[in-house]
Every structure is written in structure tokens, then in C-alpha cells.
Structure 1
């Protein structure tokens, strides 16, 4: 699942990831849509933009963890800004990690999943890629 307030980015990211073999089960442009879709679709992972316009992707990452049932999706934070601009917030979050939007790829997602330390989120069930 991809959450971003830019329709252009949602489309581009979906096309890129699906072209690389990742099934994108849903896209959302705000927190309400993201929470609804995460609850209904049960994605294996959620890519969440840190800056969702008037909303906070960091807050959404926390809400996804607490409001989407017993097996919330791990969250990878994404942004067009450099990681160092948000470094302290990313470390303090419950997110699995961070990817710059320019580095987004199935390989980068799989690398983050493979490097999980096992104590932040519940394990991903099934193969990564939904």
C-alpha cells in the first residue's frame, strides 16, 4: 500500500513497483483512506510519505500500528526530502525504515525487510510484495 498526497507520485510509484513485481493492493492520499484501506486490504507493507500535506505521515505510521487490527503492516517512511532532515523523527518512530522517493524500488524495499531487527513490528506474513 502506498500513502502519498501527490496523485502523480502515487501513479508513478505504483507503476514502478508493479513493473518490478510488487503487487500494490491500494493507494491512499490521506490518513483516513490509509487507515480504512489498511484495515480492509491487510497489506504486507505500507509506504507512507512523511509529509502528507496538512497531515503527518509520522503520526499516520503510529496510527497504522495501533488502529488496524492485530497484525498491522510494517511502515516504510518515504519522502522527497533528504533523510537527514527527519533523522531524529525517523529513529524515534516505529517505522521499519526510510527510503528517499528517488531510491524507491522493489530491491530497496526487500533490503529493508531483510534487514529487520525483529523488535519494532510484527513479522511480515507471506512473501513481501503486496
Structure 2
């Protein structure tokens, strides 16, 4: 099992979503709740480039990126940008995507309507971040 140890300080996040309104809203929400959003991307090429350049702790990936697949992007990010953790997001219900989520390298899934810093931290096992410490192990990809 691969284990990633998050560095001390604020959790650093990259948001990948083809809807600029959602990306802006998610950025504001997460930053208000103590997560630093280091960037956004709207397609696979920009996401991979940004992830390599910015080295975020976590990458939120919409499962539907226009004509592109967030599941395929999660695979590519796992291959090319590890150790960033990937969390899949969608407006679709988790149970509708359960099979695809379970075989993806993502550490988990959060519905866009339930997106919060606490939900992200819970999936990463990073606590609430209020004490400034994040030395929590994050297990490797699910289903592998």
C-alpha cells in the first residue's frame, strides 16, 4: 500500500472542472474553510500540466469534463503526478458511479452539493486542520 504523508500547513488543492462558475464557487468555499486552492483547470491537458507544476496535496476532478472523462484523468494523474491524492466530484449520485469509482485510483468521491473542506479532509484522513497539523497518512488508491 502506498502511503502519502501530508506536509504541515494548509492543504493545497487543484480543482478540475469544465464549469467556471462551479470552480469559482468551490474555490471560494474551500478557501473560506481553510484549504488553499492553488489553481483550477478545465480540461485534461491543463489539469496534468497544473498538477505537475503546482504539486497540490489533493486534486478534485469532475467525472464529466465536457468530452473528456474525469475517470481517465484520474488514471493519468495517478500515473504522472503521484503522490497527489485525487478525489472525484460530480452532480451525479455516488451510487450511480459506484462501480467506476471503486476501480479508479481516486481516494474517494464527494458530491458537488456536499463539497466542503471537512469532506475533503475526511477522505484524506487529515482531520479538521484547525490545529495547523496535517501529518496524516493517506492510503493509496482504492481498488488496487
**TM-score interval, smaller chain:** 0.7 to 0.9
Identify the structure with the greater strand proportion: 2
* 2:141 paired with 1:120: yes
The answer to whether the Cα contact below 8 Å between 1:64 and 1:72 also exists between their aligned partners in 2 is no
Aligned to 2:96: 85
Unpaired runs of 5+ in structure 1?
A: 122-130
Structure showing greater radius of gyration is 2
Q: Structure 2 unaligned runs (5+)?
A: 1-13, 127-136
- What is the CA distance between 1:117 and its match in structure 2? 6.7
State the shift of 1:52 in Å: 0.5
* Superposition map of 1:22-33 within 5 A: 22-33=35-46
Provide the TM-score with structure 1 as the length reference. Answer: 0.87
Q: What's the CA shift string for 1:83-115, capped at 9, x where partnerless?
A: 111110000111000000000000011111118
Distance apart, 1:118 and its partner CA: 2.1
CA deviation after TM superposition for structure 1 residue 67, in Å: 1.8
Measured on the aligned residues, the alpha-carbon RMSD in Å equals: 1.6
* Per-residue deviation, 1:119: 3.5
